[in-house]
Amino acid sequence: GVGSGLVGTTELRARFAAALSALYATEVPAYGTLVEVAGEVNADVMAADPDAAQRLGAIERVTAERHGAIRVGTARELGQVGQVFAALGMHPVGFYDLREAAAPVPVVSTAFRPVDDDELAANPFRVFTSVLAGDDRRFFDADLQARLEGRLERRELFSPLLLTLAARAEEAGGLDPEDADAFVRLATAAFALSPEPVDAAWYAELERVSGVAADIGGVGSTHVNHLTPRVLDIDALYARMTGRGITMIDAIQGPPGEGAPVLLRQTSFRALSEPRRMRGADGQVHEGALRVRFGEVEARGCALTPAGRARYDAWTAAGGTAPEREARWRRLFPDGADEQAAAGLTSVRWVPVPDRPRDDRGPQPDLARLLADGWVRAEPVVYEDFLPASAAGIFASNLDGTGERDAAEGASHRDLAWLSDALGREVLEPADLYAARTRASAEEVAAALDLPPL
Ligand code: OOG
Ligand code: NI
C-alpha cells in the first residue's frame, strides 16, 4: 500500500492483468471458454477438499492467476519491456535458450514476475518474454540479419508517453490515479494485435527461417500470443475442453500427474487463424489470415531443489514411452510431499509445529528427522517459473512450419549476463529465490526450537 493517493505498483499489476485478460477475451474467443472451464474445474476441486486445493496458493490467487507471453526483436525493445514491467513490480527471472531445444526457435527468453511472497500472493501475474537472436548465423545469414535489424530499429513498440509513465511509476512506487489509468490503457494497447497491414513477402521470407521470426520481425508491433489461466486439475480440464470440441495438443507437457505435484504441467490448443490485412508485392492491401495465437492452461506444483531439478532434467532427457516414463518417474520421485521434502528434492518452507507434545525425545538438529518426528511441517513453495522443454513444446506445437536451423556453427552469444546487460536490470536466478525461502525458514525453525543452525 502506498500513501499519498498513488495507485501502487501492485494495484497497477492487478489492473493491467485484468485489462489484458479482457482484451484477449475479445480477440481470442476460445480464451473465454478456457477461463470458464478452468473456473468450473477449480470450483469442483475446491468443493471436494478446500485445504488440499489451497496447499499451493489461496483460491483467490489461483483464480486471478495468469501468465502471458510476448516476443520482441532487439535488446533495445527488451529494455523497454523491462521498464514497462518494472512499473508493475515485475522482475526478470531466469534465462531460457530456446535455440537449443529439440525443435529450435531463434529466441532466448526470461520471465517477468513478482518475486516477494506478499506480491505473489496479491497477484502473481507473469509474462514469458522472448527476444529474437537476429545475429544467430544458424538461422539468419548476414543479408537477412541486416534487413531485419533495419526494420526493427525503425519501429516503435512503446510510445514515449508509456515509457515515461513507466519510469515514473517505478521511481515513485506508483502513479496518481489519472496517470495510472493512462498507463494501464497504453500498456494494454501496446500488446493488442495491430490492424496495420502485414508485408506479405517479407513475412513469408522470415517464415521460411522460423514462424517465430516472422511473428516477431514480420510485423510492426508486438502482441500477447497467449494468456494462460491456472487450473487445479489439468487432466480434468483437458477432458472437458476435448468434450467441448476444442482440440488440445496431444499431450500435457511436464511431469506426470501422479503423486504430489511438482513444477509445472501445461497443455495448449491452437487458436483459429485470425483475419489480417496483408500488403502484396503490388502494394495492394487485401484480406489475409494469420494463425499466431493460441490457448494454454497450466497446473503448478512445488518448486524443486537443485538435486530435485537434476532428477527432473534427467527424466526429461531420457524420453521413452509413456509407461516407461511413468515407471522411471516413480523411481525418481517419492509419491508424497513429505517424502519428497525429506529426500531433499522439493523446495519447502519449514514451519515449527506449535502444539507438538514435548516428550522426552527432544528435537534433533536435522530437518528430515524433525519432519519425521513431527516437530516441523514442510509447506511447499510454489514453482513460479517456466520449463524450457515445455516452452519449446508450446512454441513448436503452435507453429505451421518448424522452420530450420541449418548451419552447425554460428550461434550468437547469449546467456543470463547478456540478458541482464540488454535489460539494464539484473536477471535473477530462480534457484536462488527458492533456496532463500527454504534457508530463511530453516533459521526460524532453529530459533523456535532452540537448535544450532540447520
Ligand atoms: C512462449 C512459449 C513459452 C510457456 O508457458 O512455457 C510459454 C511463446 O510462445 O512466446 O509461454
Ligand atoms: Ni505459456
**Model pLDDT, residue 292:** 82
What is the reported pLDDT for 402? 57
**Is 439 within a domain?**
no
In a domain, 307, yes or no: no
Nearest alpha-carbon partner for 131 in 192, 191, 75, 194: 75
* Torsion on CA atoms 410, 415, 420, 426, rounded to nearest 10: 180
Residue 212 lies in a domain: yes
Q: Is the ipTM of this complex over 0.95?
A: yes
Buried b (16+ CB within 10 A) or exposed e, 331-347: ebbbeebbbbbbbebbb
Which atom of ligand 1 approaches the CA of 128 most closely? Answer: 11
Q: What is the pLDDT of residue 1?
A: 47
Pocket mutation for ligand 1, best pick of 78, 130, 394 (most atoms within 8 Å of C-beta) = 394
372-405 tens-digit pLDDT: 999 999 999 999 999 998 888 888 776 765 566 7
Q: How many angstroms does the Cα of residue 205 sit away from the middle of ligand 1?
A: 23
Domain hosting 52: range is 7-302+384-423
Alpha carbon nearest to ligand 1 atom 2, residue:
391
pLDDT, averaged per 10 consecutive residues of the chain (454 residues), comes to: 80 97 91 93 97 95 95 98 98 96 92 97 96 95 96 97 98 97 98 93 94 94 95 94 84 88 92 86 91 90 98 93 92 95 97 85 92 95 94 77 69 94 97 97 96 94
Whole-number pLDDT of residue 270: 78
Provide the β-strand partners of residue 129: 70, 110
In a domain, 331, yes or no: no
- Within 10 angstroms of residue 436's Cβ, the number of other Cβ atoms is 12
Q: Are 446 and 453 in contact (CB under 8 A)?
A: yes
Within a domain: 414: yes
Q: What is the pLDDT of residues 22-76, one digit of tens each?
A: 999 998 888 998 999 999 999 999 999 999 999 999 999 999 999 999 999 999 9
Q: How high is the pLDDT of residue 404?
A: 65
In this structure, what CATH number is given to the domain that contains residue 249?
A: 3.10.180.80
71 lines ligand 1 (CB under 6 A): yes
- Please report the pLDDT score of residue 222 as a whole number: 96
Give me the DSSP letters along 70-128: EEESSHHHHHHHHHHHHTTT-EEEEEEEGGGSSS--SEEEEEEE--SHHHHHH---EEE
Go through 107-139 and write b for each residue having 16 or more CB atoms within 10 A of its CB, e for each that does not.
bbbbbbbbeeeebbebbbbbbbbbbbbbbbbbb
Beta bridge partners of 352: 376
What DSSP line would sit under 361-413, residue for residue? SPPPS-HHHHHHTTSEEEEEPBP-S--HHHHHHHHHHT-S-------SS-PPP
| Distance between Cα 72 and ligand 1 center (Å) | 13
- Residue 359 within any structural domain of the chain: no
Name which residue sits closest to atom 4 of ligand 1, judged by CA. Answer: 391
Nearest CA to ligand 1 atom 6: 391
Pairing mode, strands 174-175 and 264-270: unpaired
Tell which atom from ligand 1 comes closest to the C-alpha of 130: 10
Three-state DSSP class for 234? helix
C-alpha cell at 9: 505498483
User: Which is the closest atom of ligand 1 to the Cα of 386?
Assistant: 6
Which ligand has the minimum distance to the alpha carbon of residue 108? 1
Q: What is the pLDDT of residue 346?
A: 98
Protein residue with least CA distance to atom 9, ligand 1? 395
pTM here is 0.95
What is the total count of domains within the chain? Answer: 1
Does 81 reside within a domain? yes
Amino acid 116: pLDDT: 96
Domain-located, residue 138: yes
160-172 helix and 177-189 helix, angle to the nearest 10 degrees: 130
Chain Cα centroid distance, residue 358: 44
**Which residue has 500488446 as its cell numbers?**
191
